[in-house]
Amino acid sequence: KDLHPPVLSLALSPGSGLFMAVLVQMTIAGKSFIGGNMEIALAANLTASSRLGQDAAGIPRFSSRNCHIALVSVKTNLPSSTLPKVMSKFLNSTLQKVLPGLLCPAVDAVLNFVNAKFTTMTSEIPLGTAGTLKYVLLNPPMTNETFIELDLKTILHQEEGKEVDLPTEQSSLSSLPPKRDAATQLILSANFLSAELSILQASFNLNISHNMVLGLPPLVTTLLGALIPEISRVLPPSQPVVIEMREAKAPVVTITPDKSFVELFSTAEFWISRSDSAPESLFVLDV
């Protein structure tokens, strides 16, 4: 008849998984054994533990280990004179048998919901049109008093399906930053970031024309001459210019305790873009 919002407490069980305690308060209504309607207001404490492991596909998975129901209080609308001790014991024992089948499936339903979220972890993530990224568990999940640690292997594929080689050495846990309270941390290695950027290398290629540079003077040869006086005498008169940016080699990511760097290596080739003749290359800069 009435179900109060449950009061839920969660705790991590070191080396195991998750422990939960749920205070449930409800009112059960029905026909009384002496005639008329009877209401039973009860409070019960549900405790359950679950193990965090991985399935055959290498996906984290919670599995229920045990579920117990302890009655905290039971009250009825029947006068105490009509509820002798033997009937009270019968009521308690009946509830002890009925409640696990009523409440414990809810624990499995919650765990199944969480497990369904985990399955998306192994789905392929598109990196634009350049390739895909996928995670798999490298080692079984580790649980301690304050957090769960998932050690993931990253699998990168280029657009044509070729897998990108990544160094296999693992950083020691002592070298990782300290875990912040109440926060989820995703720690990525410099090698992984370099490899991911290498897949996206072609995305950094672009042609820059005067139509793309808003708020600046048109890209013409006279503007180049003003910026680089050394070449002004060999440039033709005012002609539209196109800058062709092309990646020269794979990007490199460097991470230090204080700051991080991303180095992108490219060439910038400057072309005269005449409307009445083929483009003419002026010079190339390493950038």
DSSP string, 145-160: SS-EE--EEEEEEETT
- Mean pLDDT (the chain) is 84
Long-range contacts: 195-199, Cβ < 8 Å, 24+?
195/156, 195/164, 195/165, 195/166, 196/127, 196/133, 196/156, 197/250, 197/251, 197/253, 197/262, 197/264, 198/164, 198/250, 198/251, 199/127, 199/130, 199/131, 199/156, 199/158, 199/164
pLDDT at 112: 92
pTM score of the predicted model? 0.64
The pLDDT tens digits of the residues spanning 236-245 come to 888 888 999 9
SS3 for 35?
coil
Q: What are phi and psi of 16, to 5 degrees?
A: -125, -80
pLDDT at 154: 86
Strand positions, DSSP E, the chain: 2-3, 7-13, 17-31, 37-54, 60-76, 125-127, 131-137, 142-143, 148-149, 152-158, 206-208, 241-255, 260-272, 280-286
Q: Which of 63, 164, 52 is nearest to 111 (CA)?
A: 63
The answer to whether the beta carbons of residues 153 and 130 sit under 8 Å apart is no
The pLDDT tens digits of the residues spanning 119-163 come to 888 888 998 888 899 888 888 899 988 888 888 888 889 887 788
- The 10 Å Cβ neighbour count of residue 108 is 15
pLDDT at 68: 92
| Separation between Cα atoms, residue 260 and residue 98, nearest integer Å | 59
pLDDT at 169: 63
The pLDDT tens digits of the residues spanning 215-273 come to 777 788 888 888 888 888 888 888 888 999 999 988 899 988 788 999 999 999 999 88
| Separation between Cα atoms, residue 200 and residue 156, nearest integer Å | 11
| Separation between Cα atoms, residue 279 and residue 192, nearest integer Å | 39
pLDDT exceeds 90 at position 75 = no
**Domains in the chain with CATH codes:** 7-122 (3.15.10.10), 124-200 (no CATH), 205-286 (no CATH)
Q: Which of 270, 268, 271 is nearest to 285 (CA)?
A: 268
